[in-house]
Amino acid sequence: MKLLISALRITALVVIAFLLIEYLLPTEDGLVMVKYPVLLGILAVVFIAALAIEIAIAALGNVLFKSLKGDAREKYLQEELLKKGKLKNWLKKFRANLTKRKPLEEEGEIIMDHDYDGIRELDNKLPPWWLYGFYATIIYAFGYMAYYHIFDGTTQEEEYQAEIAQARVEIEEYKKNAPDLIDASTVALLTDEVDLSAGSKIYNVNCVACHRADGGGGIGPNLTDDHWVFDGDIAGVYTVISEGGRPGKGMISWKQDLKPFEIAQVASYILSLHGSNPPDPKEAEGEFFVIDQE
């Protein structure tokens, strides 16, 4: 039993240490123990070492007890019983101080005069634990009032707005690092050769049938001139590829076949064809649009 209590006590202390470390050393990307596994290793070593010490002390105590003879063993047992008795008395006294409850045999001293159908009321004092809790709330209320109404502390609404603003920043940062979360409102023109090469491959597989390999236009419009049926910037081209073109004109939506970043790549490749002047281009369609590739 003693060993079990020791193990529970050590476990509780290690858990408290774990929580304190997580609280005092916060990280932005998960648990401290995950980011710094050496701390978890240290806690594990401390736990095993403490448990080993407890086991060793218990084993040593057992050996010493068995080495006692006659009166010495009896005296040891009496001392242990005395310690347990003192602990029980202390716990009983502590509980009595928390409640200040009158013993059953003394309740006659606090019976109130009125009687309701044989039901009589005791004039018990409020238990100290309740009073101390009440006093603590009063102290907290004064501190709360001073912090928020005298020293102009941050209100809950201000904290909420600050957290919302921080969340928006984190979302935007996450979107930058997660290319497939882009849409027409966040897409940017890609100029890296790797992206344009990937866009070229996608174009050659899916677009040449209608727009020709050089972008000069066939069933679909010429993609190299200054005229566009829809907006000719990266957002406009991305939208047409993603959502499809004019109803009944054959241009389908590709968002079920291509990932958002792949659409951005092929859209950027199409814009790179601007001004390439392929032979025998299709007649211009749509409105004149100045393409800004900055």
Q: Of 46, 43, 40, 54, whose CA–CA distance to 5 is shortest?
A: 54
pLDDT, greater one: 114 or 224: 224
One-character DSSP codes across 206-240: HTHHHH-TTS--SSSPPSSSSEESS--SHHHHHHH
pLDDT at 90 over 70: yes
> pLDDT value at position 19?
86
Helix, strand or coil, per DSSP, at residue 32: helix
Band of pLDDT at residue 291, cut at 50, 70 and 90: low
- Where is average pLDDT lowest: 103-107, 139-143, 237-241? 103-107
Q: Of 21, 55, 27, whose CA–CA distance to 41 is shortest?
A: 21
Interval 114-142 mean pLDDT: 85
Supply the pTM of this predicted model.
Answer: 0.45
- Give 184's contacts (C-beta < 8 A, 6+ positions apart): 235, 238, 239, 242
Q: At 240, list the tokens.
A: 């047409």
pLDDT, greater one: 85 or 211: 211
> pLDDT value at position 292?
58
Band of pLDDT at residue 294, cut at 50, 70 and 90: very low
pLDDT at 290 over 70: no
- Where is average pLDDT lowest: 26-35, 58-67, 135-144? 26-35
3-state helix, strand, coil in the chain (%, to 5): 65, 5, 35
pLDDT at 1 over 80: no
Question: What does the domain layout of the chain look like in residue ranges?
Answer: 2-99, 110-150, 193-288
pLDDT at 73 over 80: no
Spatial distance between the Cα atoms of 217 and 188, rounded to a whole number of angstroms: 25
Pick the CATH number of 193-288 from 1.10.760.10, 3.30.565.10, 3.30.530.20, 3.20.20.450: 1.10.760.10
> pLDDT value at position 139?
96
Percent of the chain with pLDDT over 90: 19
pLDDT, tens digit (0-9, with 9 covering 90-100), for 234-244: 998 999 999 88
Interval 53-65 mean pLDDT: 83
Please tell me what DSSP assigns to residue 267.
Answer: H
